[in-house]
A and B are shown apart, each in its own frame.
Chain A
Amino acid sequence: DVVMTQTPVSLSVAIGQPASISCKSSQSLVGTSGKTYLNWLLQRPGQSPKRLIYLVSKLDSGIPDRFSGSGSETDFTLKISRVEADDLGVYYCLQGTHFPYTFGAGTKLELK
């Protein structure tokens, strides 16, 4: 199985400051189609997860461009340029290239 190592476990950030989360996979996430199925999700307290980014760097509709995704092969990063109060929750990376699909363990973003 592909292991997704997500760091840090928690992050305390002041409003307006940047934040960065790393996700490293135990094998390349480039699929046979040439696409890399790496998603970033946010689960706000008491809510179901919501996808923010797909295919490494593509923003979902309605997601502010404060969010960005980057990376390739086995090394991926989610960045928030300026954290807002609405950003708090747990962030997960998800690989959808290889079965079984696997998630990172999550990064809890708290406001400082």
Chain B
Amino acid sequence: EVQLVESGGGLVQPGRSMKLSCAASGFTFNNYDMAWVCQAPKKGLEWVATISYDGSSTYYRDSVKGRFTISRDNAKSTLYLQMDSLRSEDTATYYCARLRVGGWGQGVMVTVSS
């Protein structure tokens, strides 16, 4: 069974950093592109970033380019999202997902507030 378990969320002040992790199990992690998707409170889904199966390619939505970094450790079957220079508008639940083949984590809440 595919399992994706996010961690690392919480309350952070504007301008500070936070790193999310997603531990994967139940599939061969290094065979799949992985993504982060966010959902602001009471809002819809927004794609944040994708990383290729081997980490060689990364893609970001414009609003996070230069501030967020997606990465992976295939030896640990873990996906990361380093979030710097956080803004109040980054407040959301962040999901780790295999968008093209299915499988979502339960999500982790990030609140950016002073």
Binding site for B on A (CB under 8 A): 37, 39, 41, 43, 48-51, 54, 60, 92, 94, 96, 99-106
Contact = CB atoms under 8 A, between A and B. Distances in A.
B106 interface: yes
5 contacts: A43-B45, A94-B99, A100-B59, A100-B60, A101-B99
Nearest to A41: B45
A43 B105 CA distance: 12
B104 interface: yes
Nearest to A60: B102
- Give the interface residue-count category, chain B: 20 to 34
B67 interface: no
A53 B52 CA distance: 22
A99 B107 CA distance: 22
B47 A102 contact: yes
Interface string B87-114: 0000000010101111111110000000
A105 B35 CA distance: 19
Interface string B42-68: 001111001000000001111000000
Give the 4 A-B CB pairs with smallest separation, nearest first. A101-B47, A51-B102, A103-B45, A48-B104
Nearest to A99: B59
A48 B2 CA distance: 14
